[in-house]
Each structure stands twice: as C-alpha cells, then as structure tokens.
Amino acid sequence: SQTIHQWPATLVQPVGSPLSLECTVEGTSNPNLYWYRQAAGRGLQLLFYSVGIGQISSEVPQNLSASRPQDRQFILSSKKLLLSDSGFYLCAWSVKGRGEAFFGQGTRLTVV
C-alpha cells in the first residue's frame, strides 16, 4: 500500500532563517506531488505541484521554492523565512489520471 511521510511535524523558526521540509512517498511510482499551505481557520492553498523529477510549477508568487530531486521526494524550501510564512504545510500525492490526492500528516510551522 502507498504511504506518504512528511517531517518534521512541528517547527519553530526565527524570521530570516532558512527552511527545508521534506516529503517522501512509498509504494507508488511517478506520482504527482503537491505542496499546500493552510493558514489558521482557512482553506488549503496550492503552492507547488510536480508531475516528474525536476518539474515544478508554482501557483502563487511567494518566498518559497520547491524541488523534486527524486521520483518520490518533494522538498519545500525558503532561504529567508517571513512571519507570514507561518502555517500548516501539507504534502500530497496523486496517481496520474486520477483526481483524489492523499495527504501527509503536515508540518505546523511557526515563524517567530
């Protein structure tokens, strides 16, 4: 069966520090991968999606970047965090040609 791992679960970082969140998927090949952000009490905002290694599409201009160095690995990064980067970050995957996405457990990021 397929599983998705996302870490860390919680993170407190100072303003201006770098960020690296990692997500890996097991049990499937060539998935579509996604990074979403959820502000407190709000819906999910799509940040990045990837259909293959090295292929990244950005949905909104922001202080973040994403990379996909391996088929089942998706990384969210920032060189310098802003207070507004605080939120609940969710990695997700889906099978190509099917719509439903399956989410990792999320990382709650607090920038102080």
Partner 1 sequence: GQNIDQPTEMTATEGAIVQINCTYQTSGFNGLFWYQQHAGEAPTFLSYNVLDGLEEKGRFSSFLSRSKGYSYLLLKELQMKDSASYLCAVRGSGGYNKLIFGAGTRLAVHP
To the nearest whole angstrom, how small is the minimum distance from the Cβ of residue 26 to partner 1? 16
Q: Tell me the backbone φ, ψ of residue 2, rounded to 5 degrees.
A: -90, 140
Specify the residue, 46 or 53, whose C-beta has the smaller distance to partner 1: 46
Binding mask 38-77 for partner 1 (x = CB under 8 A): ----xxxxx--x-x-----x-x------------------
Specify the residue, 64 or 90, whose C-beta has the smaller distance to partner 1: 90
- For tokens 């090949």, name the residue: 29
The Cα 79–Cα 61 span in angstroms is: 15
Q: Which of 21, 75, 90, 111 binds partner 1 (CB under 8 A)?
A: 90
Question: Is the Cβ–Cβ distance between 33 and 92 less than 8 Å?
Answer: yes
Of the candidates 67, 83, 71, 58, the one whose C-alpha atom is nearest the C-alpha of residue 21 is: 67
The Cα 40–Cα 31 span in angstroms is: 28
To the nearest whole angstrom, how small is the minimum distance from the Cβ of residue 80 to partner 1? 27
**Given the rule CB under 8 A, which residues bind partner 1?**
32, 34, 36, 42-46, 49, 51, 57, 59, 90, 94, 96-106, 108
